[in-house]
Structure 1
Amino acid sequence: MLAERLGVAYAEGDDFHPAANVAKMAAGVPLDDADRLPWLDLVGGWAREQGTAGGVVSCSALKRAYRDRLREAAPGAAFVHLEGARELIEERMRERKGHFMPVALLDSQFAALEGLGGDEFGVTVGVEGTPEEIVERVVGALRQL
Structure 2
Amino acid sequence: MRLGRLAVGVWLLSPLMAAGCGGEGASSGKAVVYTCCKQEDVGKEYRPGETLTLHWTAEEKDGAPASGATDLRARMVGPFDSASAVKEVPVGGSTGSLSLTASPVRIDGGGKTEPVSEIQIPRDATPGYYNLNHISTAGGSSVSGNAVIRIVAAG
TM range (shorter): under 0.3
Quick check: which has more Rg, 1 or 2?
Answer: 2
The structure with more strand, counted as a fraction of residues:
2
Greater fraction of residues in helix: 1
TM-score for the superposition, normalised by structure 2: 0.25
- Taking structure 1 as the reference length, the TM-score comes to 0.26
